[in-house]
Amino acid sequence: MAEAPKDADGRLVLDKPRWDQKTFEGRAKHFLNVTDPRNVLATAAQLEAAKKLVEQYRLGLEPKETSDEDVWQAKKLFDSAYHPDTGNLQFLPGRMSAQVPMNMMITGAMLTFYKTTPAVIFWQWVNQSFNALVNYTNRSGDAELSTNMLLKAYCSATGAALTVALGLNTLVKNFPPIVGRFVPFAAVASANCVNIPLMRQRELLHGIPVLDADGNKVGESKIAAKNAVGMTVVSRIVMAAPGMSLCPLIMNHLEKKAFMKKSPWLASPIQIGLVGIVLVFATPLCCAIFPQVSSISVDKLEPETQEMIRKKTDMTKVYFNKGL
């Protein structure tokens, strides 16, 4: 067990993650906690109790019998269900703890039913609907989106995914069957490049909060927003890659086996199971590629933001929440 951060009085520092976020290992452990699928089973009462204990501990009002492990378990549930900036309870399917079970079913279905046009249309629509929900739920800062912005992002991403999927399905008809199995990944990667920037367009247009080392807001920056969205796009594409590239290879091999030819109905549950196994590890590891609270040099911000910050402090870099 890693040593938890504590202050001079020996109390846990809950404003900092349990593990060192400067290292990939520390970030991976943190996101294994946040994306733990078991967190979705927590009831509303358990989440409220976890939030209450975290708030009590911050004020030094927790029950006397509370152990450090009790606090970290409460913090685990709290982090998995509440937005880090707004503190609002997130819609369950959009939480990061729901990523594995939701993506397991959707990705498994996309990889299984990729040959017919109706199936491609339906599952790409389901996937983009889910992605839009996740992107909105885990947007950075307290940015609100208008209905018009939401519809534009949703329709654009769904259109991009369908265009790529249907177009590539047509192009690969004369290629070996294994090539067609990678069409869903190409569609998902393309859609992520459209969906995430559009879903978070308000951040790109108006900027996101930039903070000092103590977490105090010192300004807003569009450049920081571009960095945040760019990192999110990369991590989402890399997150999808293992399940949507390894599983097709494995399934292509298995479908040549006698037991699969005898029972073709096994393809879907096997594929969904394989995707689930991969995602349990790929999701937290890919979330950990970039620090959740990332930094940027003040010199790289907009001139007006630089001027605003330098009137308040002589800091050389600021921090921002990149979103998920």
Look at residue 49 in the predicted model and tell me its pLDDT.
94
Average pLDDT over residues 17-36: 88
Average pLDDT over residues 231-243: 88
- How far is Cα 156 from Cα 277, in angstroms, rounded to an integer? 31
The domain segmentation of the chain, as residue ranges, is 24-35+43-80, 96-321
Hey, which of 126-130, 160-164, 233-237, 243-247 has the most confident mean pLDDT? 233-237
> pLDDT for 131-179, tens place per residue?
778 767 766 555 566 667 777 777 887 787 788 878 887 887 777 777 8
Query: pTM for this one?
Result: 0.74
Look at residue 144 in the predicted model and tell me its pLDDT.
60
Average pLDDT over residues 24-35: 88
Look at residue 1 in the predicted model and tell me its pLDDT.
44
Angle at 261 (CA atoms; ends 247, 246), nearest 5 degrees: 5
Helices H, strands E: what count in the chain? 13, 4
- How far is Cα 177 from Cα 172, in angstroms, rounded to an integer? 8
Give percent of the chain above pLDDT 90.
15
> pLDDT for 114-130, tens place per residue?
778 888 889 888 988 88
Average pLDDT over residues 222-233: 92
Question: CA 270 → CA 37, 54, 104, 179, distances in Å?
Answer: 19, 40, 11, 20
